[in-house]
Amino acid sequence: MLAIQGLTKIFPAPAGEVVALRDIRLEIGPGRLVTFIGPSGCGKSTLLKIAAGLDASYEGSITLDGRPIEGPSVEKGVIFQEPRLFPWWTVEKNIAANASLRDAAVRRRVGELIELVRLKGFEKAYPSELSGGMAQRVAIARALLRRPKVLLLDEPFGALDAFTRAHMQEVLLDIWQADRTTMLFVTHDLDEAVFLGQQVVIMNPRPGHIRRVVSVDLPYPRQRTGAPFQEIRGVVLREFEKVEEAPVPDPGAGI
């Protein structure tokens, strides 16, 4: 269980301070897949960074299974927008990283993960030989090897073309259904948010806050063209339209 209470993040700036996040309240149960969507500047990536332990200057509390998050760790796997692989390591070594491939258990698990992210045959390839989608799958496998309690994905497919992105979304759902790792998935793509999330957290900027949480009670795999999908997509879209009409946000909005 990831629990966020009264989380506020302020960036000091030359001209006064910038409130990146204000009073975020959110609880995400184990095994949930929650997507976060909002325009740039709404603080969704900042929220993820704090959850990852990469940013420790905030007010409020954020706990994972009751323990406060203090610094980054393998419990909280992070997938960045760029794959961030080590260019001098092959695919399998990148997945193992500081775990030894000489360890039989690690070897076996790396092999399983390579199958899971559909990279069989590329074990010995270097990152420079991979496409963007393949590299991102390596990054996902690297995080999964550490059996994280929660996987934090920060616009991981944002740099991929539409076809690769759709494919990656399916791969990710396969992984989630096989592993049931808790996932927080930040995106600015409306379809992606509704296609993946059990819940869609809609965020707004200035100051960054949660506007509404929409539940998506549709079975997987979802049909993007189906009427129920389009209906929920419409609900989420209307939230954004409302924001543009009324720029002054309600600070207390949460769950």
Partner 1 sequence: MLEPSRTKAALLNALVGLLLPLSILAAWQAAAWGGWLNEVLLPPPSAIAEEFAAMSRSGELPLNLGISAWRALLGFVLGGGLGLAAGLWVGFSWRAERLVDPTLQMLRMLPHLAVAPLFILWFGFGEASKILLIAKGAFFPLYVNAFLGVRSVDRQLFDVARVLQFTRSQTLRHLILPAALPSILLGVRLSLGVSWLGLVVAELMGSSDGLGYILNDARSFSLTSVIFVGILVFAAAGKLTDSIVKLLERRLLRWQTTLKGVE
Residues that bind partner 1 (CB under 8 A): 52, 54, 71-74, 76-78, 80, 82, 84, 86-89, 97-98, 126-128, 142, 146
Minimum Å distance from CB 94 to partner 1? Answer: 10
Minimum Å distance from CB 126 to partner 1? Answer: 5
Q: Where are the alpha helices (DSSP H) in the chain?
A: 44-52, 91-96, 104-116, 132-145, 162-179, 190-196, 227-245
Smaller CB distance to partner 1: residue 53 or 208?
53
Minimum Å distance from CB 5 to partner 1? Answer: 24
Alpha carbon distance 195, 217 (integer Å): 11
Cβ proximity of 189 and 166 under 8 Å: no
Reduced to 3 states (helix: H, G, I; strand: E, B; else coil), residue 174 is helix
Minimum Å distance from CB 137 to partner 1? Answer: 16
Smaller CB distance to partner 1: residue 74 or 190?
74
Minimum Å distance from CB 21 to partner 1? Answer: 19
Cβ proximity of 194 and 216 under 8 Å: yes
Please identify which residue in the block is written with the tokens 């309690």.
Answer: 149
Alpha carbon distance 200, 244 (integer Å): 19
What are the angstrom distances between the C-alpha of 153 and each of 6, 95, 183, 242? Answer: 22, 17, 7, 27
Smaller CB distance to partner 1: residue 75 or 191?
75
Burial of 17 (0-12, 13-18, 19+ CB in 10 A): exposed
Smaller CB distance to partner 1: residue 121 or 252?
121
Smaller CB distance to partner 1: residue 123 or 191?
123
